[in-house]
Structure 1
Amino acid sequence: MSIVKNSRHLFNEIATGYPIPGQTTVYDDSQTIDLDKAPLNGGVLVKILYLSIDPYLRFKMRHPEAEKHISLYKFGEPIDSFGVGVILRSQNSAYAVGDHVVSGFPHQEYVVLPKDAPLRVVKNEAKIPWSLYIGIAGMPGMTAYSGWNHFAKSKPSGSTVFVTTAAGPVGATVVQLAKADGHKVIASAGSKDKVDFVKSLGADVVFNYKEQDTREILKREGPIDIYWDHVGGDILDAVLENVRNSGSIVIVCGSVSGYNGTPNPVYRHNLIFERDVTIYGFVNMTIAGRYREAFYKEIPEAIASGQMKYREHIIKGLENAPQAILDVQLGKNEGKSIIQVAAE
C-alpha cells in the first residue's frame, strides 16, 4: 500500500428539478490518501467496493430552508449512501483486516471511519455476491421485508395486492413476499423488459403503466386489498377509486412522481374515510430493527437457493455515479442500481 488517489463524488448544488450530472453532483479525483500512514485514531480504514444508488438520494439534494426534517448533503462534500467495503487496516478490536462491512459510506474510494462508526460485519455464509448486501439482501430488501411483515401480514391469503415500480429492488421483493403469502398480485412497471422480469417473479397481472391505463386494470382485476405505493399522485387516486370497501390498506414507501418537482396532489382523499382505508407511511429505519434478525437469517439463504429472484444494474467506476443518480430518477436502470467502485 502507498499514496493513491481517493476519488470522490461530491454534492455541488441544490437540485430544483432532475439532478444534472456534472452539475448537481460532480466527480473529483484530486484527493489522495496514504493507505499505510493515514491516522486511524482507533478506527478503521475501509476500501469501498460497492455503493448503492437509490431514489431517496434525491431527497438529500433539496434546499435546507425548505427541508429541515431530513439530513441533507453538504456542499463540497461527498454524498453518502449504503455501501459494502473491506477493511484494510484496523485499530478497533471489533473489526479485523479482511472483514467485509456494510454501512452508510461517503462516495469515495477509501474512508477512515471512527471507532464508533455503525459498521455491520457480513460473514456471507450464503456465499451470494457482495453487492446484494446493498440490494435485495440489504436496505431495499429489508424495507420490503419489514414493511410487508409489519403492515400486510394481517391480511388473509387470497387478498389482492397492487405493487407499483414492481421491477425495482423493493417492489420486486414485495411481489415475491406477497405471492409466498398466497395473494393475487397486480404489478406495474415501465418497460417490456421490466414487465417480463416481474412476470418471472410470479405476479398474476403485470402491465406497462406507460402503455395501459392503470384505472382500467385495477377496475377489471380489483378490488384492491393492499396497495404498496412507490408513486403517489394520480396512481394513488386510481387505487382509492378501486379499493375494497372497508379494511383495505395502503402502504406508502415512496412518492417518486413528486421527487423532481412539485409534488403531485391526491384529489380523491375523501375516499380514504368513505371506503374505510388505512394508510401507513414508513421509512425503513423506524421498524427494521424488530425484523433484522429474521431478515438476515431468511433472505440470503433464499437468494442462494434461487427462491428469491433479483436483478442488478451494476455500473463500474465512481465517475459514473452522477449519471446513475439521474437514470434512477428517470427509471432507466434495469434492476438495483449499484456503482462498483473497486474490485476486491
Structure 2
Amino acid sequence: MSPIPNGRVIFNEAPVAYPDPRTTLVYDTSETIDLETSPLNGGILVKSLVFSIDPYLRGRLRSPETKSYNEAFALGQPIRNFSVAVVLRSENANVKVGEHVYGHFPLAEYHILKDLTGVRKIENKEGIAWSHYTGIAGMPGKTAYYGWKAYAKAKKGETIFVTTGAGPVGSMVIQLAKLDGLKVIASAGSSEKVQFMKDIGADVAFNYKTESTDEILKKHGPIDIYWDHVGGEVLDLALIHAAKFARFIEVGLITGYNSGGIQPVKNFGNVLSKSLTIQGLYVGNFEEQYGEAFYNDIPGRIARGEIKYLEYVKHGLQSAGQLLVDVLKGDNFGKAVIIVADK
C-alpha cells in the first residue's frame, strides 16, 4: 500500500488571549504513513475515531518557560488529548486488531503507540456511542464522579451550587447531587442551557449573563458545596454565601484562562471565619482508586438513559482550532468532540 496523508493538529503559535482559530492550531497533512508497512517496533497502529476538546487545553498552549501543573505543548508538534481509536495492526500480545483503546493521544488521524502506558481497552458492552467515552464516560465524567466520591461528603438536604452546569462535568455533578438528595443551584450562559439544567434536575437554574448570581445565592443559599469551574467574581460570591463547614471543589478557573491571569480572591477571610474546606481536583489522582467502579457503573447508566448528556459535535480534525475557541467562549452546547472517523 502506498503512503497516505496523515492529518494532524499542530501547535503553531502561543496565543496572548483567546486562541486564533486560524493560526494557534493548524491542520497539517504534510506527514504521510503507510498503514501496512510502517514499523511498529512492538507497538500498535491505531486509527483515531473521536477526540475530546476541553478548556484545560488552553493552559498548555503557552511558552515552555511559563510553568504550570501541565507541561506546555511543543511548538510545531501535534497537541494531545483524550481519544478513542481502533487498532489496525498490533505487535503487542495484549491488544488485538479491531479492539478499541482510550487514552491521551496526539491529534492525528493515525498514530503508533509504543506501549500501553495510560491506555485502556474499551469493550463497550453497552453499545453507547464511542464519543461518549471521551465525555460522560471519559475524562469529564470521571472528573465529576471522582470528585464527588472523594470530596463532596454530601448529605441529603444540603445545597450545592454548580457553575457551568450545562457542561459535561457540571451536568454530571447535577445528576449525582440529585441522586444523593441535594438541592441544586446551577448556572450557565444561555436560556437553552438553563432549560437543560432544569431537565436534568436542577432546582434553581439561571443564566448568569442576565440574572444576578449574588441575588440568586442570597435567595436560595447558603451553599454547603460549591463546584467551581470559573473562579473570579463567582468564587468570591460563593465565599460570601457559603454555609459554615462548606466544601469548595475547584475544578477550573476559566475566567482567567484568556485574560492574562487568575483574578485575586477578595473574600478569602471567609475560609477562616466559616471553617471552609477548599480542595483542588485533578482527575488523574483518583484513577486507580475509582476507575474500575466508574467503568462498571456509568456506561450502563448512560445506556439505560439514567444519565442525560449532550454533545457538540464537529467533524474532521481541521475543526479543532475553532472548536477550542467555542469551548473557551462558552459557545458550545454540550460536550465538544471531533469525529474523525465512524469506524
* Same fold flag (TM > 0.5): yes
Q: What is the aligned partner in structure 1 of residue 189 from structure 2? A: 190
Q: What is the CA-CA distance between 1:30 and the residue it aligns to?
A: 1.5
How many angstroms apart in 2 are the aligned matches of 1:155 and 1:51?
Answer: 33
Q: What is the aligned partner in structure 1 of residue 252 from structure 2? A: 254
Q: What is the aligned partner in structure 1 of residue 144 from structure 2? A: 144
How many angstroms apart in 2 are the aligned matches of 1:209 and 1:35?
Answer: 50
Equivalent residue of 1:174, what SS?
A: helix
Q: What is the CA-CA distance between 1:2 and the residue it aligns to?
A: 4.3
**Residue identity in the other structure for 2:222:** P
Equivalent residue of 1:215, what SS?
A: helix
How does 1:69-88 map onto structure 2 within 5 Å? 69-88=69-88
Q: Calculate percent identity across the aligned residue pairs.
A: 50
Q: Structure 1: where are the runs of 5+ without partners?
A: none
**Residue identity in the other structure for 2:79:** I
1:3-62 CA deviation, whole Å, 9 max, x = no partner? 221011000111211011121111111111100000000000000010110000001012
Q: What is the aligned partner in structure 1 of residue 164 from structure 2? A: 165
Deviates more, 1:334-343 or 1:112-121: 112-121
Q: What is the aligned partner in structure 2 of residue 273 from structure 1? A: 272
**Residue identity in the other structure for 2:4:** V
How many angstroms apart in 1 are the aligned matches of 2:65 and 2:317?
Answer: 30
Q: What is the CA-CA distance between 1:70 and the residue it aligns to?
A: 2.1
Contact 2:154 2:180 survives alignment (8 Å)? no
**Aligned in 2, Cα 1:19/1:304: closer, same or farther, shift over 3 Å?**
same
Equivalent residue of 1:291, what SS?
A: helix
Q: Structure 2: where are the runs of 5+ without partners?
A: none
RMSD: 1.0
Q: What is the CA-CA distance between 1:289 and the residue it aligns to?
A: 1.9
Contact 1:226 1:249 survives alignment (8 Å)? yes
**Aligned in 2, Cα 1:335/1:68: closer, same or farther, shift over 3 Å?**
closer
How many angstroms apart in 2 are the aligned matches of 1:281 and 1:17?
Answer: 24
TM-score (norm 2): 0.98
Equivalent residue of 1:337, what SS?
A: strand
Contact 2:42 2:114 survives alignment (8 Å)? yes
Q: What is the aligned partner in structure 1 of residue 97 from structure 2? A: 97
Structure 1 segments (4+ residues) deviating >6 Å: none
Contact 1:143 1:288 survives alignment (8 Å)? no
How does 1:2-41 map onto structure 2 within 5 Å? 2-41=2-41
**Residue identity in the other structure for 1:285:** G
Contact 1:313 1:333 survives alignment (8 Å)? yes
Contact 2:251 2:282 survives alignment (8 Å)? yes
Q: What is the aligned partner in structure 2 of residue 122 from structure 1? A: 122
Count how many residue pairs are aligned between Structure 1 and Structure 2.
342
Q: What is the CA-CA distance between 1:63 and the residue it aligns to?
A: 2.3
Equivalent residue of 1:211, what SS?
A: coil
Deviates more, 1:169-178 or 1:266-275: 266-275
How does 1:196-207 map onto structure 2 within 5 Å? 196-207=195-206
**Residue identity in the other structure for 1:232:** G
How many angstroms apart in 2 are the aligned matches of 1:68 and 1:309?
Answer: 34
Q: What is the aligned partner in structure 1 of residue 313 from structure 2? A: 314
How many angstroms apart in 2 are the aligned matches of 1:125 and 1:25?
Answer: 35
Equivalent residue of 1:55, what SS?
A: coil
**Aligned in 2, Cα 1:312/1:68: closer, same or farther, shift over 3 Å?**
closer
How many angstroms apart in 1 are the aligned matches of 2:2 and 2:304?
Answer: 41
Equivalent residue of 1:112, what SS?
A: strand
Q: What is the CA-CA distance between 1:231 and the residue it aligns to?
A: 0.6
How many angstroms apart in 2 are the aligned matches of 1:70 and 1:137?
Answer: 23
